[in-house]
A and B are shown apart, each in its own frame.
Chain A
Amino acid sequence: MANIKEFSALLQNGEKTAVNLAEEALSKIESHKSLNAFISILSERALQKAHEADERKKAGKSLGALDGIPIAIKDNLCLEGSRTTAASKILENFVAPYTATAVEKLEAQGAVIVGKTNMDEFAMGSSSESSFFGPVENPLDKTRVPGGSSGGSAVAVASGCVPISLGSDTGGSIRQPAACTGVVGLKPTYGRVSRYGLLAYASSLDQIGPIASNVEDCATILSIICGQDSHDNTTSARPSENFGAKLQESIKGKVIGIPKEYFGEGLDKNCKAVMEKHLKTLEAEGAILREISLPNVSYAVSSYYIIATAEASSNLSRFDGVRYTHRSKEARNLFDLYAMSRSEGFGKEVQRRILLGSYVLSSGFYDAYYVQAQKVRRLITDDFTKAFEVCDVIASPTMPGLPLHRGVNESDPMAMYLSDIYTVSLNLAGLPGISLPCGTVKNFPIGMQWIGKPFQETNLLSVAAASERVSHCIENL
């Protein structure tokens, strides 16, 4: 896996041109085609953009560290003039009329988008198997899923096709595939990055973030894509900052909160042992480990799936067979036009979630499920606020064990939902989180999730970088 610094050095010393880098990325995508990490490959566009980067360099007008660097973006992010499918049949031929703000900001820095990555349909899943375009393969083990929903974005980085990709995270969809494939994935604080141009799943939980091979690249990308946007009124007015400013800072004196609820029942014992060793290594470096409690997190998965499906059932109502691409040829009246177009266009998982969302919002169940879930959301958020009074960051597993085997989702969807048990709370509370490998079990990288205070990504990434520096110390269990 390469990183921005290495690519940037190759461009700076003239060893490679941006066109070379784009061609190499495109050729790797082609040679790794069986991984099915990409839905669209943008060869012509990428080579043109790379050529423009080379021309800027010749003219002494390079735009910065990202100029000429190939990247990939998840296929639920709009790119003007390019197909944007969200891995759904219903949007199979949808061509975006505008570009997402986060993507626009990367392109403004000269980043070269080489392709759009495969994912769970409408980001609904944790295995990247529900795509209309077929499942994404995990390059580390073909029998196991690559995580999801940003599985294609994680695999694109893990397989070395690109140094960076963008994903979206509603309940763990950046962090969880990063953990499954041995890369680094960052979900920023809710409101840090504009969601304009992101095909909505659950608007109060969705957030765009980077997947990369190291913490530094995640910091670089976040510094570029963050900021207030008049197209998304949930974006924070806080100014952009250099999130990599404290990456070299020592972890000495930092208090790491360890939630007892996250290291107990349900966590694979080998994964637990690896993480505990990792935390001990950080303690030896001067970090202070402190047990904390998040008493309501056991309700997080239920609260999350109620809120997420409720919002999804509303958000996805726009796909009606009238405005966006797919329309049933069988429909003879307006109701059938809606219902048949949607049932032909949406996959099974998406339909299940829409139905569940309609159920929890329907008269008679609204208070018992939806309002109750919103109340639990507040309790969970309050738990974190209280915990952060006595610690700087919180350490947790990203996943309960190794990635699930392929096919589990269809036979036992609850198993897949429960694999999000450590990640969904951050979305409910709007907190930033990053997953990075901290050791291996059976040669499989194990993701450690670091949780930060709201809008404290600089401090979060400082701890993550310290964790990254000692991650090689752990032996394989």
Chain B
Amino acid sequence: MLEREDILKLAKLSRLKIADADMESISGHLGKMLQHMDALRALDLSQVEPMTGVEEGITVLREDIPQPSFTHEQAFANAPSVENGHFVIPKVIGG
């Protein structure tokens, strides 16, 4: 079971806002998951190399040739707020 403070910290890291009403169910759910995962923590795997993916280990390279890309209009088409070719966000400097 995770404490309320733990959930709030995770929510901050995850850029999520958790409603007070959901706190208990989230804590219970994550607690169950972590309990299940604890079996892994008990294993001695000090001699095992972590595996990050299943690729064949070859770094694929290609010639760096400029290609047609999205236009400004296409790139901004799904943005909720745009002004003069820029994304608009709330003010971040000063009060």
Contact: A338 with B54, CB < 8 Å? no
CA separation between A313 and B16, bound complex, in Å? 11
Top 4 nearest A-B pairs by Cβ distance? A430-B54, A374-B50, A327-B80, A378-B51
> Which of chain A's residues has its CB closest to B59's CB?
A233
In the complex, chain A residues whose CB is within 8 Å of the CB of B90: 331-334, 336-337
A interface residue count range (under 10 / 10 to 19 / 20 to 34 / 35 or more): 35 or more
Contact: B30 with A355, CB < 8 Å? yes
Name, among B7, B16, B26, B87, the residue most crowded by chain A CB atoms within 10 Å (CB to CB). Answer: B16
Cβ of A381 within 8 Å of any chain B Cβ, yes or no, is yes
Pairs across A and B, CB under 8 Å, 14 listed: A97-B77, A204-B53, A236-B56, A302-B36, A327-B81, A334-B90, A337-B89, A337-B90, A342-B15, A346-B16, A359-B34, A362-B10, A379-B45, A414-B32
Q: When the two chains form the complex, which single residue of B17, B18, B45, B75 contacts A376, counting CB atoms closer than 8 Å?
A: B45
Contact: B30 with A372, CB < 8 Å? no
Which residues from 346 to 382 on chain A have a C-beta closer than 8 Å to any C-beta of chain B? 346, 348, 351-352, 354-360, 362, 368-369, 371-379, 381
In the complex, chain A residues whose CB is within 8 Å of the CB of B58: 237
A contact set with B: CB distance below 8 Å: 93-95, 97-98, 190-191, 204, 230, 233-234, 236-237, 299, 301-303, 305-306, 313, 317, 320-327, 331-340, 342-343, 346, 348, 351-352, 354-360, 362, 368-369, 371-379, 381, 413-414, 417, 429-430, 454
In the complex, chain A residues whose CB is within 8 Å of the CB of B45: 372, 375-376, 379
Q: When the two chains form the complex, which single residue of B51, B55, B80, B89 contacts A375, counting CB atoms closer than 8 Å?
A: B51
Q: When the two chains form the complex, which single residue of A230, A335, A360, A454 contacts B15, counting CB atoms closer than 8 Å?
A: A335
Contact: A352 with B29, CB < 8 Å? yes
CA separation between A381 and B79, bound complex, in Å? 41
A contact face: mostly helix, strand, loop, or mixed: helix
Are A325 and B78 also in contact (CB < 8 A) when A317-B15, A354-B16 are? yes
**Nearest-CB distance from B91 to chain A (Å)?**
8
Name, among B39, B62, B75, the residue most crowded by chain A CB atoms within 10 Å (CB to CB). Answer: B39
CA separation between A255 and B87, bound complex, in Å? 59
**Nearest-CB distance from B41 to chain A (Å)?**
5
CA separation between A323 and B75, bound complex, in Å? 9
Cβ of B84 within 8 Å of any chain A Cβ, yes or no, is no
Are A355 and B10 also in contact (CB < 8 A) when A191-B56, A299-B39 are? yes
CA separation between A192 and B80, bound complex, in Å? 36
In the complex, chain B residues whose CB is within 8 Å of the CB of A299: 39-40, 43
In the complex, chain B residues whose CB is within 8 Å of the CB of A381: 51, 54
In the complex, chain B residues whose CB is within 8 Å of the CB of A371: 50
Taken residue by residue from 7 to 51, chain B's Cβ proximity to chain A (1 for < 8 Å, 0 otherwise) reads as 100111111111100100010011011101101110101001111
Contact: B22 with A375, CB < 8 Å? no
Contact: A358 with B10, CB < 8 Å? yes
Are A325 and B80 also in contact (CB < 8 A) when A301-B36, A335-B15 are? yes
CA separation between A98 and B74, bound complex, in Å? 10
In the complex, chain B residues whose CB is within 8 Å of the CB of A323: 78-79, 87
CA separation between A196 and B18, bound complex, in Å? 32
CA separation between A237 and B60, bound complex, in Å? 9
In the complex, chain A residues whose CB is within 8 Å of the CB of B22: 348
In the complex, chain B residues whose CB is within 8 Å of the CB of A348: 22
CA separation between A322 and B19, bound complex, in Å? 22
Q: When the two chains form the complex, which single residue of A190, A233, A306 contacts B37, counting CB atoms closer than 8 Å?
A: A306
Are A355 and B37 also in contact (CB < 8 A) when A322-B87, A337-B90 are? no
**Nearest-CB distance from A379 to chain B (Å)?**
6
CA separation between A327 and B34, bound complex, in Å? 32
